[in-house]
């Protein structure tokens, strides 16, 4: 593998679905990179009616917060970005955990009691099953509500495929294990697995990094915290040749 400084590419592949992809694109541009959108999933909000007896609404992602109408419920969010999104949507009483499922479960255990009522867990289709199981093991009644569907993309955009063939992509950003798995599927379907060997994969968490290990990336970097700012710091500025800050 050539040293990082020898790779002159300046594009960054963004695998998040919209609307988060646009946010990442703006942040990547501010660091001097050329964002290249290749969402591995498409999100669709689903109808949601909060349970009548619920002591708190649990949000595991910004996508879940975006899918919900405001309600007079106490909210516990996985991290500050999700909490900010919930407040912007009209929720008033919002607490934030430290950014991952373990921290979220710990905060709930520390601040809520099972005897005070059920927890409503608002999630995407197929998400947060482990969190629900962990909370139930602690004695909580968990009402799991699917508030958005995440559908796999059929293929990589043509511009992204061309950039992968040209070797002009320096890094790819990954914010969930599912995005990692789906992006790997898309690369394989397009016959572009070898392109990974020229790309730095930037993971939001160790779980995502583990999912990425299915391909021989040039390197896999993991953010020091599970938040978007730390992910971008792990990418670094383009004028620093993508070295971690």
Whether residue 242 is predicted with pLDDT greater than 50 in this model: the reply is no
Domains of the chain: residue spans and CATH: 9-40+153-240 (3.40.50.10090), 44-151 (3.40.50.10090)
Distance CA 93, CA 121 (A): 16
* Stated pTM of the model: 0.77
Give dist(CA 26, CA 14) in Å, integer: 11
Give, for 178, the enclosing helix (H) or strand (E): helix 177-189
pLDDT tens-digit readout, 5-38? 334 468 999 999 988 899 999 999 999 999 999 9
Check if the beta carbon of residue 45 is closer than 8 Å to that of residue 63. Answer: no
Instruction: For residue 140, give both structure tokens.
Output: 């909580």
Q: State yes or no: pLDDT of 123 exceeds 70.
A: yes
Residue 168: band (very low, low, confident or very high) from pLDDT cuts 50, 70, 90: very high
For residue range 52-93, list pLDDT tens digits in order: 788 999 999 888 998 888 888 899 999 998 999 999 999 989
Count the Cβ atoms, other than its own, within 10 Å of residue 195: 21
Cα 111 from chain centroid?
A: 25
Phi, psi of 171 (to 5 degrees): -145, 165
Nearest to 30 by CA among 239, 170, 243, 241: 239
**pLDDT for res 241:** 66
């Amino acid at each position: 593998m050539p040293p990082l400084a020898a790779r002159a590419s300046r594009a960054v592949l963004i695998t998040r679905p919209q609307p988060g992809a646009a946010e990442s694109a703006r942040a990547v541009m501010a660091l001097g990179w050329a964002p290249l959108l290749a969402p591995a999933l498409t999100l669709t909000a689903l109808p949601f009616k909060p349970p009548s007896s619920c002591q708190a609404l649990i949000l595991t992602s910004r996508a879940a917060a975006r899918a919900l109408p405001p309600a007079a419920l106490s909210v516990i969010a996985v991290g500050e970005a999700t909490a900010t999104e919930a407040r912007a949507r009209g929720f008033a009483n919002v607490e934030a955990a430290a950014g991952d499922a373990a921290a979220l479960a710990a905060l709930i255990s520390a601040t809520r009691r099972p005897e005070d009522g059920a927890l409503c867990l608002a999630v995407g289709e197929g998400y947060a099953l482990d969190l629900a199981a962990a909370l139930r093991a602690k004695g909580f009644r968990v009402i799991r509500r699917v508030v958005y569907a995440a559908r796999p993309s059929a293929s990589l955009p043509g511009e992204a495929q061309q950039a992968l063939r040209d070797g002009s992509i320096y890094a790819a950003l990954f914010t969930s294990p599912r995005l990692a798995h789906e992006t790997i599927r898309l690369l394989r379907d397009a016959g572009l697995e070898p392109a990974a060997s020229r790309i730095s994969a930037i993971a939001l968490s160790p779980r995502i990094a583990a999912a990425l290990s299915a391909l021989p990336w040039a390197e896999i970097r993991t953010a020091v915290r599970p938040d978007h700012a730390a992910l971008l710091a792990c990418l670094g500025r383009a004028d620093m040749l993508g070295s971690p800050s």
